[in-house]
Amino acid sequence: MEQTTGRNHINRNKLNHLANDRVCKIVGCNNDFRINRTSGFCDNHEFHEHDLYLELHDPAGTLVNAPAHKDIIDALIEWSSTRNFGLLPFFSSLSFNSLGNVPDVSTLAGKVVHPGITVPTIGSIYDSLIEVINNYFPVNNNSSYQPLKTPRGEIPAIVLAYTFAGLLICEEANRGDRWFCRMVRKEEAKTTQLGAAMPIAYFATRIFPWGVEMNKSARNLTR
């Protein structure tokens, strides 16, 4: 995963939620804003300056087009149904270990600081998700490496799981405010953005026995 300029999303954090300052919270910026602007950003810094994205490479180091969240979920569901392998505990563990554990991309890039708060690195966050994945897709089990069909070609199940974990991190960092609400505001209930919860919600919709019509409409949740 890399940080770069790109499809920059609005920064949803409420850095001035106490309305006690009127100087932009971006490091090095001294622009003023209205005291009641809860975001804490001036007009020039309402959007993240970076976008976190994932790159997938094959064993030879060649860049591979990574499948989307929904394509990974669809492939894993189809695979698990033939092996009597329930995916709910796996996705529940991913949800517990990703939602609220990934700082926004501006914080990760050091553009915003939070005194007294330790900011985890992307590497440490990803490693924690890898541990979760390895509990369900053991690296010494041949079944973990079964190639699964995706719109991007056949990819081993465990690689799809690793890729999905990386995409969850990107969603949380680029779109979410849960980490900020939980770690800085100490009020997780103030979270307004789904972030990584969006693809997990797609999985939940796919496995719930709604009926044919809802099963076909589930893809709309990730658009």
- Residue 68 clears pLDDT 60, i.e. is over it: yes
Question: What pLDDT, on the 0 to 100 scale, is given for residue 3?
Answer: 39
- Residue 36 clears pLDDT 80, i.e. is over it: yes
Average pLDDT, integer, range 39-66: 93
Tokens of 185: 């505001």
Q: What angle do CA 156, 215, 89 make, to 5 degrees?
A: 50
Map residue 131 onto helix, strand or coil.
Answer: helix
219: which DSSP letter?
Answer: G
Percentage of the chain lying above the pLDDT 70 cut: 91
Average pLDDT, integer, range 121-141: 96
Tokens of 199: 């693809």
Question: What pLDDT, on the 0 to 100 scale, is given for residue 4?
Answer: 41
Q: What is the pLDDT of residues 177-214, one digit of tens each?
A: 999 999 999 999 999 999 999 999 999 988 887 665 55
CA pair distance 192, 178, nearest whole angstrom: 8
> 121 exposed, middle or buried (CB, 10 Å; 0-12, 13-18, 19+)?
exposed
Tokens of 212: 């044919």
In the block, tokens 């092996």 appear at 83
Question: What pLDDT, on the 0 to 100 scale, is given for residue 82?
Answer: 87
Provide the mean pLDDT of the chain.
91
- Residue 17 clears pLDDT 60, i.e. is over it: yes
Residue 128: which H helix or E strand, with range? helix 122-136
- Domain map (residue ranges) of the chain: 66-222
Instruction: Identify whether the C-beta of residue 79 lies closer than 8 Å to the C-beta of residue 148.
Output: yes
- Residue 220 clears pLDDT 70, i.e. is over it: no
Average pLDDT, integer, range 100-124: 96
Question: What pLDDT, on the 0 to 100 scale, is given for residue 157?
Answer: 96
pLDDT band at 85 (very low <50, low <70, confident <90, very high): confident
